[in-house]
């Protein structure tokens, strides 16, 4: 259960960013998606009652010098010192996406996805998923404490791209899945292991967002609400629902995973550039 909770925290943060609609018109004015996001870094604080700074997470997007037109997107999430003492010992989560830029420069294509849990400085669990578009196959392996505990393959249908969550984050922001507007539903296909899964993004109507704003006045700069739906078991939550708020510039301000087992609502907020690091 402890592993599942820290996994929920880290997955929570990348789903926060997987839901970013972004200004697709502005982004598509750039010729190349890789060069547009090159060097970007985003930092988030994660909390749940009664701990206001339970964890922190940082995203980065950098060139991969070993692969032509390649980039590496990384999310590293770490629990705070207090949480390590009370609940988890020394645990962290690292999610890595190896991608290449499509020939037209307009989307990222997943090549390899790694989800790594580290306990006391050692890899405790690891998922490795590779996407082979020449053979149209997904190859995956699951490891636990250095032992292979599962592996398999899954076909990639013709004309389909399977975007891992970090890859989907940047593709969404670049407008790969089309223009995002109030009231629209967007489905993203992914396949981390045994079977194809779907991330569904439901962009709230203007009326619904305004109604919520009237009830939740503590964050006056909220503008847009995106509701994300995934499998319940992925987050160890009662309903698998996630909500993301954006400001008028479509910057993600806050996300909430509803009903995480043992902790209730898990909340994350974008940190200001000048905020000091805390442990």
Q: Of 49 and 101, which is predicted with more confidence?
A: 101
Q: Which of 105-114, 132-141, 254-263 shows the lowest mean pLDDT across its residues?
A: 254-263
Q: What is the mean pLDDT of residues 96-117?
A: 94
Q: 25-59: per-residue pLDDT in tens? A: 444 455 799 999 999 887 878 776 677 777 787 88
Euclidean distance between CA atoms 175 and 103, whole angstroms: 16
**Phi/psi at 185 (5° precision):** -115, 130
Q: What is the pTM of this model?
A: 0.78
Query: According to the model, what pLDDT value does residue 143 have?
Result: 95
Tokens 């996001």, residue? 37
pLDDT grade for 171, boundaries at 50, 70 and 90: confident
Q: Which of 118, 79, 122 is nearest to 95 (CA)?
A: 118
Q: Of 69 and 78, which is predicted with more confidence?
A: 69
Q: 189-204: per-residue pLDDT in tens? A: 887 788 888 878 888 8
Tokens 């593709």, residue? 171
pLDDT grade for 21, boundaries at 50, 70 and 90: very low
Q: 140-159: per-residue pLDDT in tens? A: 999 999 999 999 999 999 99
Query: According to the model, what pLDDT value does residue 75 have?
Result: 85
Query: According to the model, what pLDDT value does residue 24 have?
Result: 44
Euclidean distance between CA atoms 138 and 195, whole angstroms: 10
pLDDT grade for 6, boundaries at 50, 70 and 90: very low
Q: Which of 15, 43, 60 is nearest to 226 (CA)?
A: 15
% of the chain at pLDDT higher than 70: 70
Alpha helical stretches, state H, 55-118: 81-83
Q: What is the mean pLDDT of residues 18-29?
A: 46
Q: How many CB atoms lie within 10 A of CB 1?
A: 7
Beta bridge partners of 254: 245, 269
pLDDT grade for 279, boundaries at 50, 70 and 90: low
And the tokens for 171? 């593709």
Q: Of 215 and 156, which is predicted with more confidence?
A: 156
Q: What is the mean pLDDT of residues 168-197?
A: 82
pLDDT grade for 265, boundaries at 50, 70 and 90: low
Residue 275 has pLDDT above 80, yes or no: no
85 secondary structure, DSSP code = I
Euclidean distance between CA atoms 79 and 68, whole angstroms: 35
Residue 247 has pLDDT above 80, yes or no: no
């Amino acid at each position: 259960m402890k592993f599942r909770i820290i996994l929920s925290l880290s997955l929570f943060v990348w789903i926060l960013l997987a839901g970013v609609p972004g200004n697709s018109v502005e982004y598509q004015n750039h010729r190349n998606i890789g060069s547009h996001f090159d060097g970007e870094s985003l930092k988030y604080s994660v909390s749940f009652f009664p701990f206001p700074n339970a964890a922190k997470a940082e995203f980065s997007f950098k060139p991969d010098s070993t692969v032509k037109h390649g980039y590496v997107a990384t999310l590293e999430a770490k629990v705070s010192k207090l949480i390590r003492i009370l609940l988890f010992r020394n645990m962290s989560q690292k999610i890595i996406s190896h991608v290449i830029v499509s020939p037209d420069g307009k989307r990222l294509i997943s090549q390899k996805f790694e989800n790594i849990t580290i306990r006391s400085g050692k890899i405790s669990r690891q998922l490795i998923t590779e996407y082979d578009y020449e053979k149209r196959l997904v190859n995956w392996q699951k490891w636990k404490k250095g032992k292979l505990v599962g592996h398999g393959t899954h076909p990639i249908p013709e004309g389909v791209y399977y975007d891992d969550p970090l890859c989907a984050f940047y593709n969404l922001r670049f407008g790969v899945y089309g223009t995002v507007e109030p009231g629209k539903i967007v489905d993203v296909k992914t396949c981390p292991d045994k079977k194809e899964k779907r991330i569904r993004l439901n962009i709230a109507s203007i009326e619904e967002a305004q109604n919520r704003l009237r009830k939740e006045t503590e964050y006056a700069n909220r503008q847009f609400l995106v509701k994300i739906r995934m499998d319940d078991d992925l987050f160890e939550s009662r309903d698998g629902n996630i909500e993301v708020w954006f400001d008028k510039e479509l910057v993600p301000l806050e996300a909430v995973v509803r009903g995480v087992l043992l902790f209730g609502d898990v909340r994350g907020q974008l940190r200001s550039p000048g905020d000091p690091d805390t442990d």
